[in-house]
Amino acid sequence: MAPFLDEKRIDNEDACAALDTHGTLRSLAMAGAQVRQALTLSQDAGIERVAGGERPRSVLVASLGGTAVICDVLEMLAEPGSPVPVAIRRNLPLPGWVGPLDLVIAVSQSGRAAGPLALAAEAARRGASLLTVGASDSPLADVCARARGVHINVGNDRDGSRTHLWSMLAPVMLAAGQIGIADVDAAVLADVADRLDEHAEACRPSSESFVNPAKVLAVDLAETVPLVLGDGPLNGVAASRAASMLARTARMPATFGELPDAASQIVACFDGPFTTAFSSSSAGASGVAAGDIFADPYLDGPMPPRLGLLMLRDAVPEDPSPEVAEAEALTEAVVESARETGVKVSQVTAEPGHPLVRLAGQIAVTDFAATYLALGLGLDPAVAPHVADLRSGRR
Q: Do 180 and 35 sit in the same domain of this protein?
A: yes
Whether 291 has a pLDDT exceeding 90, the answer reads no
CATH of the domain at 236: 3.40.50.10490
Q: Do 13 and 93 sit in the same domain of this protein?
A: no
Express each pLDDT in 219-237 by its tens digit.
999 989 999 999 999 999 9
Q: What single string gives the DSSP state of each residue in 310-373?
A: EEEEPPPPSS--HHHHHHHHHHHHHHHHHHHTT-EEEEEEPPSS-HHHHHHHHHHHHHHHHHHH
Q: Do 234 and 329 sit in the same domain of this protein?
A: yes
Domain edge (last residue) among 196, 213, 231: 196
**How would residue 317 be classed by pLDDT, with cut points 50, 70 and 90?**
confident
Per the model's pLDDT, the better-predicted residue between 142 and 156 turns out to be 142
What's the structural domain count of the chain? 2
Q: Do 120 and 256 sit in the same domain of this protein?
A: no
Q: Do 96 and 106 sit in the same domain of this protein?
A: yes
Would you say residue 391 lies in a domain? no
Q: Do 50 and 86 sit in the same domain of this protein?
A: yes
Q: Do 97 and 63 sit in the same domain of this protein?
A: yes
Domain edge (last residue) among 169, 196, 223: 196
Question: pTM here?
Answer: 0.92
Mean pLDDT throughout 357-363?
A: 98
Q: How confident is the model at residue 302, as a pLDDT?
A: 56
Residue 371 to residue 260: CA distance in whole angstroms: 29
CB atoms near residue 263 (< 10 Å) = 17
Mean pLDDT throughout 384-394?
A: 72
Mean pLDDT throughout 109-133?
A: 96
Q: How confident is the model at residue 250, as a pLDDT?
A: 96
Express as a percent the part of the chain with pLDDT over 90: 78
Whether 285 has a pLDDT exceeding 50, the answer reads no
Q: How confident is the model at residue 330, as a pLDDT?
A: 96
Would you say residue 390 lies in a domain? no
Would you say residue 187 lies in a domain? yes
Q: Do 245 and 263 sit in the same domain of this protein?
A: yes
Express each pLDDT in 173-206 by its tens digit.
999 999 999 999 999 999 999 999 999 999 999 9
Would you say residue 393 lies in a domain? no
Would you say residue 394 lies in a domain? no
Q: Do 175 and 311 sit in the same domain of this protein?
A: no
Question: Which residue segment(s) compose the domain that 239 sits in?
Answer: 7-21+198-385
Mean pLDDT throughout 330-335?
A: 96
Q: How confident is the model at residue 293, as a pLDDT?
A: 56
**How would residue 283 be classed by pLDDT, with cut points 50, 70 and 90?**
very low
Whether 395 has a pLDDT exceeding 50, the answer reads no
Domain edge (last residue) among 150, 181, 196: 196
> Closest Cα to residue 173, out of 141, 128, 133?
133
Please report, for residues 310, 331, 338, the alpha-carbon distance to residue 325 in angstroms, rounded to integers and kept in the order given.
Answer: 21, 10, 20
Would you say residue 291 lies in a domain? yes
Q: How confident is the model at residue 300, as a pLDDT?
A: 55
Mean pLDDT throughout 232-254?
A: 96
Express each pLDDT in 32-66 by its tens digit.
999 999 999 999 999 999 999 899 999 999 999 88
Helical H segments across the chain, by residue range: 7-10, 13-19, 24-29, 31-45, 69-78, 114-126, 139-146, 165-178, 186-202, 213-222, 233-248, 263-268, 297-300, 322-340, 355-376, 385-392
Q: How confident is the model at residue 325, as a pLDDT?
A: 93
Please report, for residues 18, 45, 99, 123, 266, the alpha-carbon distance to residue 132 in angstroms, rounded to integers and kept in the order given.
Answer: 36, 11, 17, 12, 37
Would you say residue 106 lies in a domain? yes
Express each pLDDT in 262-281 by its tens digit.
999 999 999 888 887 665 44
Q: Do 59 and 131 sit in the same domain of this protein?
A: yes
Q: Do 147 and 228 sit in the same domain of this protein?
A: no
Q: Do 259 and 225 sit in the same domain of this protein?
A: yes
Whether 130 has a pLDDT exceeding 80, the answer reads yes
